[in-house]
Amino acid sequence: MRMVEVKQVSKSFGARNNLVRALNNISFTIDRGEFVGVMGPSGAGKTTLLNIMSTIDHPSVGRVYLAGQEITALPERDLATFRRENIGFIFQDFNLLPALSVSENLIMVLSMLKIPREEVQKRLAYYSEHLNLKQLLNRYPNELSIGQKQRVAAARALMTQPKILFADEPTGSLDSKSATELLQYLATINLENETTIMMVTHDAFTASYCNRIVFIKDGAFYSEVVRSGSRQQFFNQIIDMQAAIGGGKISDFRNRD
C-alpha cells in the first residue's frame, strides 16, 4: 500500500532576481512500513523536501499524497487533525515544550485528542519503558542531556501512533552510543508497528539502518539504493553512492559498525 506519493514537486525560494530552486520536479513513492533515508550533499534540498512532505511547508508546484490524502490541497483547519492522526516528527534540536515536564510533553497531544485516560497511561507506560525514560518522567527539558531529550522526542512523536514518522537528522547531535540506541529503536518500531519512517541524514552509518536510501542532488532525484544483504554491505553501497554524488564527508568513511 502506498503511504507517500510525491508528484512532480518543485519549490523555489526568494524573489525573481535571486531565485533559489531548492526542489526541481521531484517524484517518488514510499510504501507502507518502509524505512527510507534521504541523503544528498548539503543544500541538495533534503530539509525542504521533508518539510513539504510533512505539511510544514507548501510546494511551489506539484502534489503530495500522504496516507491517501492530498495534503497539498488540505486547508489549515483539516491539516491539524490530519497531523494529529497521521504524522510524527523528530527534529534535530527543538522537540519539547520547555514549560512542561517530560510526561506532560508526552501526553499533551493525546489528552487533547480526548483519548481515554487509561489508554493514555498505557501508552505512556509502554513508550517510557521501551525508550528507557522511566526515571526522567518528572524532569523538565532543561534538566535533560541532549541524548535524553532526543529519546523523549522520539517517544513524543510515537505516542500518537502515527502512520508515518519524519525525522530530520535525528542523530545529528547525539554521541554514537545514544545514536545507535535511538536508531535501533526506530528500526524496531518500524518492524513491530509497521510505522513508515522517513529520515534525512548525512551520515552513512545512520542511513544503514534504513531499507532504502533516496539520493537527491540539486533538488532532483539522483538515484536510490535498496538494502538487500547485510547492514555492512548496505553501508558500503551507501558510501559508494555518496562518493559518486560528490557530497560525502571524511568521517563517513570510517567504518563504525
Partner 1 sequence: MILETAIKNFRRHLAGRVLYLVALALLVMVSYDCLTTYQDSFINQISQGNPALVALLLLFFSLLGFGVLIIFYANRFFIHQHRPELGLMIISGLSRSQIALIFFLETLFGELLALGFGLILGLLTNKLFAMLLLRLMGLHAATNHWFSLAALWKTGLGFLIVFILVGIFDSSRIFSLRTVRLLYPNDLEGIRQRNSWFNRLLAWLGPLLIIAGYVAIFKLSWIHFMETLRFSDRATLNTGLIMITLILGIWFCFRNTIPALFAWLQGTNWAYRQQRILDFATTGQEVQFHHQSLTLTTLFVTASVVLLGFASVLYSDGFRNLEEEAPIDLVADHQYHDQVLQQIKARGGQLKRLAHLPVKIMPVAFHGPKSEVIMSQATMPIEIVGMHNYLQIQRHQKNLLPVILDRNQALFISADFQYQHVRLHELMKNQVQFADAKLPRLQIVAFSRVYPFGSNLFFGNVLVVPDNIFEQIPDTNSRVLVGYRLMKIAPDSNFLQKIDDNSYKSKASRQMRYTYPKQLQKAKITIYQDVKRDLTNAYISSNYSVRGPAQVLLQRVLGAIVFVIGLLAILMTFAWASVCSLRELSEVERTRFDYLTLTKMGIEQHYLLRYSNWKNRLLFLSPVIFGIGNGLLVMRFVGLYLNHLPLKLLYLLTAVVFVIYWCFYLFTAYNYRRIIKMNRPPEQQAR
Ligand X SMILES: Nc1ncnc2c1ncn2[C@@H]1O[C@H](COP(=O)(O)OP(=O)(O)OP(=O)(O)O)[C@@H](O)[C@H]1O
Per partner kind, with CB cut-offs from 5 to 8 A, the member of partner 1, ligand X, Mg ion, none near residue 142 is: partner 1
Question: What CA–CA distance (Å, rounded) separates 205 from 252?
Answer: 7
In 3D space, the residue among 156, 161, 84 whose CA is nearest the CA of residue 170 turns out to be: 156
Give the one residue of 10, 12, 47, 60 binding Mg ion; rule: CB under 5 A.
Answer: 47
What nine digits make up the cell of 163? 502512520
Tell me the Cα Rg of the chain: 18
Q: Is 42 in the site for ligand X (CB under 6 A)?
A: yes
In 3D space, the residue among 94, 88, 91, 82 whose CA is nearest the CA of residue 160 turns out to be: 88
Phi-psi region of 45 (alpha: psi -120 to 50; beta: other; left: phi over 0): left
Give the one residue of 6, 46, 106, 150 binding ligand X; rule: CB under 6 A.
Answer: 46
Give the one residue of 10, 47, 60, 101 binding ligand X; rule: CB under 6 A.
Answer: 47
* Residues 225 and 212 sit within 8 Å (Cβ to Cβ): yes
* C-alpha pair distances (Å), 117 with each of 80, 99, 148, 230, 247: 22, 22, 26, 43, 48
Per partner kind, with CB cut-offs from 5 to 8 A, the member of Mg ion, partner 1, ligand X, none near residue 98 is: partner 1
What nine digits make up the cell of 184? 535501533
Pairing of strands 87-90, 69-70: unpaired
42 or 228: CB nearest ligand X: 42
Q: Is 25 in the site for Mg ion (CB under 5 A)?
A: no
Positions 49 through 68 that interact with partner 1 (CB under 8 A): 51, 54-57
Per partner kind, with CB cut-offs from 5 to 8 A, the member of Mg ion, partner 1, ligand X, none near residue 191 is: none
Per partner kind, with CB cut-offs from 5 to 8 A, the member of partner 1, ligand X, Mg ion, none near residue 14 is: ligand X
Q: Is 48 in the site for ligand X (CB under 6 A)?
A: yes
CB under 6 A: which stretch of 46-54, 127-135, 204-212, 249-257 binds ligand X? 46-54
Q: Is 92 in the site for Mg ion (CB under 5 A)?
A: no
Positions 79 through 118 that interact with partner 1 (CB under 8 A): 80-85, 87, 89, 91, 94-100, 104, 107-109, 111-113
Question: What CA–CA distance (Å, rounded) separates 175 from 173?
Answer: 7
Give the one residue of 2, 14, 94, 145 binding ligand X; rule: CB under 6 A.
Answer: 14
User: C-beta of 48: minimal distance to ligand X in Å?
Assistant: 3
User: C-beta of 94: minimal distance to ligand X in Å?
Assistant: 15
* Residues 214 and 39 sit within 8 Å (Cβ to Cβ): yes
User: C-beta of 94: minimal distance to partner 1 in Å?
Assistant: 5
* C-alpha pair distances (Å), 245 with each of 9, 41, 44, 215: 21, 8, 11, 8
Q: List contacts with ligand X (CB under 6 A).
A: 13-14, 20, 22, 40, 42-48
